[in-house]
Amino acid sequence: MKYITKPEARRLPRHLRRLEAESIEIMRDVVAEFRKPVLLYSIGKDSSVMLHLAQKAFYPAKIPFPLMHVDTTWKFREMISFRDQTARRLGIDLIVYVNQEGIERRINPIVSGSALHTQVMKTDALKQALDLYGFDAAFGGARRDEERSRAKERIFSFRSPGHVWDPRNQRPELWNLFNTRIRQGETMRVFPVSNWTELDVWEYIMLEKIPIVPLYFAKERPVVHRNGTLIMVDDERLPLAPNEMPELKMIRFRTLGCYPLSGAIESDAATIEDVVAEMLIARFSERQGRLIDSDEGASMEKKKREGYF
């Protein structure tokens, strides 16, 4: 029998150990109290951390819930291959849901605009998928440090029928005593990494050697300049203006989403260590590259009320 004798011998700093234990406790509570949970897998770094935490929470059992990816069909190709590879590696059920009605209506981020695209292909799609499979609890990787309206989000976020979030009528959350009770038709969104910061996530990925999509690491990729952001030309669907020529630049992404809506940053950080080092001296927030948040000041709060994560 081989023991890890001293807890200090673990590589994680104390604050990350505490965050890890807290997240594991939340995930176990969900599995103990809900009938049919699901993990909403966005393929991003926060999802990767959640998956890693889930493995730890239920070990030696396998993760006792499926992953679900709401696919807008505009994700980076590397995200999709990473997604499928991850599900295979962990031997876990993966549900991929696409809003077919949106496809038929030819909703896309370029012509329809980011607001409509997000509404139909993400928010509506998510609601449809949760209803279709009858999931009563859905894990999400949102963190409170991401955005102002998220700072007041509960860890167990109650949604009334129709997946409505009412920020003025949230259940108070005290200690580690979560109120998991819901009635028929009501659901819960659960955010196990609520109290992590972006830096915590990156440090944890580095120290735990968690696989993430290679797009987070700098590499020469074809990009065009648009409205002050760098957009990667991931496939032939991105229409180019007559004088627009994709150029190869060393870039990487701090957050990932639909490729026409994700701004890249110029960077040489090609390894996880480089990324963490770059994080420590970053001068802009990660959401700056995310075009869907900047439509209007309170837009995230509005989207959340409508059922967006």
Partner 1 sequence: MAAGSLRGLVSSDSKDQLRFITCGSVDDGKSTLIGRLLHDSKLIYEDQLQELARDSVEHGTTGDEIDFALLVDGLEAEREQGITIDVAYRFFTTPRRSFVVADTPGHEQYTRNMATGASNAHLAVILIDARKGVLVQTRRHSFICSLLGIRHVIVAVNKIDLVDYGREVFDRIAGDYVAFASTLGFTSIVAIPISARYGDNVTRQSNNTDWYHGPCLLDHLESIDVQSQTADLPFRFPVQWVNRPNLDFRGYAGTVASGSIAVGDEIIVAESGRHSRVKQIVTYDGELARTEAGDAVTITLADEIDISRGDILAKPTERPEVADQFAAHVIWMDQEAMVPGRSYVLRIGTQSIASGSITAIKYKIDVNTGAHLAARTLTLNEIGFCNIAVALPATFDAYEANRRTGSFIVIDRYTNRTVGAGMIVFPLRRAANIAWQPLSVGKTERAALKHQRPCIVWFTGLSGAGKSTIANLVDQRLFAMSHHTVLLDGDNLRHGLNRDLGFTEADRVENIRRAGEVAKLMLDSGLIVICSFISPYKGERDMVRDLVGDGEFIEVFVDTPIDECVRRDPKGLYTKARSGKIKNFTGIDAPYEAPSAPDVHLKTLGQEPEQLADLVLNCLVTRGIIVLL
Burial zone of 175 (CB within 10 Å; 0-12 exposed, 13-18 middle, 19+ buried): exposed
CB of 167 to partner 1, least distance (A): 6
- Give the footprint of partner 1 on residues 61-80 (CB under 8 A): 61-62
Q: Which of 50, 57, 130, 205 binds partner 1 (CB under 8 A)?
A: 57
Assess 3 for contact with partner 1 (CB under 8 A).
Answer: yes
CB of 272 to partner 1, least distance (A): 10
R_g of the chain, CA atoms, integer Å: 19
What are the start-end ranges of the E strands in 41-155?
67-70, 94-97, 137-139
> What separation in angstroms does the CA of 147 have from each of 72, 209, 238?
22, 27, 29
CB of 198 to partner 1, least distance (A): 9
Q: Which residues contact 259 (CB under 8 A, 6 or more apart)?
A: 74, 75, 76, 231, 232, 234, 235, 238
Q: Which residues contact 180 (CB under 8 A, 6 or more apart)?
A: 29, 30, 33, 34, 137, 156, 188
- Give the footprint of partner 1 on residues 119-158 (CB under 8 A): 144-145, 148-152
Residue 91 vs 242, nearer CB to partner 1:
91
CB of 309 to partner 1, least distance (A): 16
Residue 56 vs 249, nearer CB to partner 1:
56
Assess 239 for contact with partner 1 (CB under 8 A).
Answer: no
- Phi-psi group of 163: left, alpha or beta (phi > 0 → left; psi -120 to 50 → alpha; rest → beta): left
Q: By CB under 8 A, which span of 1-9, 66-74, 109-117, 255-263 interacts with partner 1?
A: 1-9
Contact 58, 64 (CB under 8 A): yes
Taking each helix axis from N to C end, the angle separating 45-58 and 198-208, rounded to the nearest 10 degrees, works out to 60
CB of 107 to partner 1, least distance (A): 27
Q: Which of 73, 128, 229, 285 binds partner 1 (CB under 8 A)?
A: 285
- Give the footprint of partner 1 on residues 161-200 (CB under 8 A): 167-168, 170-177, 179, 181-183, 194-195, 197, 199-200
Assess 20 for contact with partner 1 (CB under 8 A).
Answer: yes
The label of the residue with tokens 């203006």 reads: 241
Assess 32 for contact with partner 1 (CB under 8 A).
Answer: yes
Phi, psi values for residue 188, rounded to 5°: -130, 135
- Dihedral angle over CA of 66, 71, 77, 79, nearest 10: -40
CB of 3 to partner 1, least distance (A): 4
- Give the footprint of partner 1 on residues 202-231 (CB under 8 A): 203, 206-207
CB of 77 to partner 1, least distance (A): 28
